């Protein structure tokens, strides 16, 4: 009987060995198949796209693979050249690239070729598309980031991406998407356009004129403008707005913006002047130029950036406004000489009192130096530079009517609702015609106290004021009716407006409720 060999393992059976050979061979073949393309230097079968940008002041940036971006969004540095490379070995294909530069489309160029030119101006838009077999299986999608706006929406296959003729591109992103696959989301439209403005004017007796776009005007000769409105147009991607305010016969009104109405149309107050200004990024990119048509002066010079255009203090109604929106720093569309005609340029050229009497003026009387509230309040002048005597009388009496109901306060000549005494009311009404009465003013009237000399200003004005003195029988509308220690403003029908007494205030009274001394006429015939 034979003996087994000591220290040796038994030989494996033939069947298990044969079973293992196909499995091992299959694994080796799979590994070899996977490594073969790489070892041979070939590209994978799935196509890829690479983008590379040339940035002004920097040069060529590092390339980015499919889905990546090239450029510096938010840096403000424009792209000047662009190269997009497609690697798709399984297809007979390529791509087409065009860029918008120097006012027109450049190219197209193919895969791996540079579009644009260094130092040749900024690229503002791009168009990309696949060619050949790859276009049947894939879509090329892309988007640009524009200076001052940021990333726009995605474009695909030949669509325009960017802001041609408007903004520089500062970054670009390119990707391949399988045909019928999900496209990238977000960003809205792939393009953006320059903002514009539209504006309208409310013409007395006719209603709203407009809206009109930049370069046009609103208004009609012979009719006053009573209202104004303006807004920024466009897709809203560039941040900013337009603000404006108007000056009426009652002075400057509050600021309105973006379609809001400037001036109370129902009140029928004509516009004399206007101020407009842009805000936000739009203000960094654009200037507003505007001018006003004023009767007697024609079209005045152009104003910009919140400056005044029109007339102020002259009570001349603007009849038209023209506005231009232009790139920042561009030349004004016309003469900038004399955009405003202000009352301060004139002495009184309309009706005037004879020498030796108090004079009227279209300018405001200034408060007494050193005076403080409420004794520095002075009613602004309401008369035009060419006002008639009747205009002065009407302004004087109208101001008195506005004081009815104001409290009576001894030695006060303050704003409506604050307080006046009898002669203090006269002061404020005279100021409405620009009449400076010298020592008869709110501050001096109050400063010496209840027992001071100025407590008797009503008597002093009658005794030596620069007024025309007449008997009571010659009283006329707008005259002063003087009594011992008291004065009122005659409004006809033997009635006067006067600050009667504490507890009563400013009221209508009969001139026969006291014993008149006579008439004092501020506006001499």
Kind and range of the H or E run holding 392: helix 389-402
Q: Report the alpha-carbon distance of residue 305 to residue 326 in Å, rounded.
A: 12
Residue 33 is assigned to a structural domain of this protein: no
- Segment 104-131 shows an average pLDDT of 90
Quote the pLDDT of residue 113: 92
Please state the rounded mean pLDDT for residues 413-421: 96
What would the two tokens of residue 446 be?
Answer: 């109050």
Q: Which residues make beta-bridge pairs with 344? A: none
- 245/334 same-domain check: yes
What pLDDT is stored for residue 117 in this prediction?
85
Domain annotation covers residue 338: yes
Beta strands in 389-504 (DSSP E): 468-470, 480-483, 486-492, 495-499
Using the 3D structure, point to which of 314, 343, 372 is the last residue of a domain. 343
Residue 259 exposed, middle or buried by CB count within 10 Å (0-12, 13-18, 19+)? middle
269 vs 299, residue with greater confidence: 299
Highest averaged pLDDT of the listed ranges 49-53, 382-386, 510-514: 510-514
For 131-167, give one letter per residue: b (16+ CB within 10 A) or e. Answer: beebbebbbbbbbbbbbbbebbbbbbeebbbbbbebb
Domain that holds residue 145: 48-178
**Whole-angstrom Cα distance, residue 76 to residue 63?**
20
Report pLDDT digits (tens) over 425-481: 999 999 999 999 999 999 999 988 777 777 789 999 999 999 999 999 999 999 999
Cis peptide before 196 (omega within 30 of 0): no
Residue 94: both structure tokens together = 């390529």
Give me the pLDDT at residue 344, please. 82
Residue 311 has pLDDT above 50, yes or no: yes
Has residue 36 been placed in a domain?
A: no
Computed over every residue of the chain, the mean pLDDT equals 86
Q: Do both 241 and 145 map to the same domain?
A: no
Q: Which of 167, 195, 151 is nearest to 283 (CA)?
A: 195
Task: Express each pLDDT in 50-101 by its tens digit.
Answer: 999 998 888 898 888 766 667 775 667 899 999 999 886 655 568 999 999 9
Domain termination residue (choose one: 145, 178, 211): 178
Q: What are phi and psi of 7, to 5 degrees?
A: 80, 5
One domain for residues 396 and 326? no
Instruction: Return the pLDDT at 141.
Output: 92
Contact call for residues 512 and 472 (beta carbons, < 8 A): no
Number of structural domains (the chain) is 3
Q: Is residue 320 domain-shared with residue 406, that is, in the same domain?
A: no
- Beta-carbon contacts of 525 under 8 Å, excluding residues fewer than 6 positions away, are 389
* Predicted pLDDT of residue 68: 63
Whole-angstrom distance, CA of residue 280 vs CA of residue 44: 49
Is 160 domain-assigned?
Answer: yes
CATH number at residue 442: 3.90.1720.10
């Amino acid at each position: 009987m034979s003996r087994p060999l000591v220290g040796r393992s038994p030989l494996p059976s033939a069947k298990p060995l044969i079973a293992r050979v196909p499995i091992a061979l299959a694994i080796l073949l799979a590994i070899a198949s996977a490594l073969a393309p790489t070892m041979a230097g070939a590209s994978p079968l799935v196509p890829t796209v690479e983008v590379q940008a040339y940035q002004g002041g920097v040069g060529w940036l590092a390339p980015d693979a499919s889905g990546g971006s090239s450029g510096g969004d938010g840096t403000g540095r424009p792209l000047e050249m662009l190269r997009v490379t497609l690697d798709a070995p399984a297809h007979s294909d390529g791509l087409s690239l065009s860029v918008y530069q120097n006012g027109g489309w450049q190219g197209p160029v193919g895969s791996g070729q540079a579009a644009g030119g260094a130092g040749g101006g900024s690229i503002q838009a791009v168009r990309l598309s696949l060619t050949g077999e790859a276009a049947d299986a894939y879509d090329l999608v892309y988007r640009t980031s524009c200076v001052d706006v940021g990333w726009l929406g995605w474009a695909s296959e030949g669509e325009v991406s960017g802001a041609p003729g408007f903004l520089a591109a500062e970054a670009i992103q390119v990707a391949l998407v399988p045909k019928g696959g999900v496209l990238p989301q977000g960003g809205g439209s792939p393009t953006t356009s320059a903002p514009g403005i539209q504006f309208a004017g409310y013409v007395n007796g006719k209603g709203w004129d407009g809206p009109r776009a930049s370069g046009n005007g609103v208004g009609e000769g012979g009719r006053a403008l009573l209202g104004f409105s303006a807004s920024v147009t466009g897709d809203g991607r560039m941040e900013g707005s337009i603000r404006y305010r108007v000056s009426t016969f009652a002075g400057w009104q509050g600021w309105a913006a973006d379609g809001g109405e400037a001036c109370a149309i129902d009140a029928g107050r004509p516009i004399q002047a206007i101020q407009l200004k842009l805000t936000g990024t739009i203000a960094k990119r654009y200037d507003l130029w505007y001018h006003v048509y004023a009767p007697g002066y024609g079209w005045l010079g152009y104003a910009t950036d919140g400056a005044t255009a029109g007339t102020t203090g002259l009570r001349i109604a603007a009849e038209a406004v023209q506005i231009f929106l232009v790139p920042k720093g561009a030349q004004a569309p016309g003469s900038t000489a004399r955009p405003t005609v202000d009352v301060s340029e004139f002495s009184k050229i309309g009706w005037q009192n004879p020498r030796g009497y108090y004079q009227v003026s279209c300018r405001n009387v200034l408060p007494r130096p050193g005076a403080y509230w409420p004794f520095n309040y002075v009613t602004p002048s309401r008369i035009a530079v060419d006002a008639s005597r009747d205009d002065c009388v009407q302004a004087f009496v109208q101001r008195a009517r506005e004081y009815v109901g104001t409290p009576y306060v001894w030695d006060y000549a303050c704003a409506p609702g604050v307080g006046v005494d009898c002669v203090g009311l006269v002061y404020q009404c005279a100021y409405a015609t620009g009449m400076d009465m010298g020592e008869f003013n709110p501050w001096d009237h109050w400063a010496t106290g209840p027992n001071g000399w100025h407590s008797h200003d009503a008597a002093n004005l009658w005794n030596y004021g620069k007024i025309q003195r007449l008997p009571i029988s010659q009283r006329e509308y707008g005259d002063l009716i003087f009594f011992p220690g008291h004065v009122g403003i005659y409004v006809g029908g033997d009635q006067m407006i006067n600050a009667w007494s504490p507890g009563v205030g400013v009221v209508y009274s009969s001139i026969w409720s006291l014993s008149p001394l006579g008439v004092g006429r501020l506006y001499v015939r």
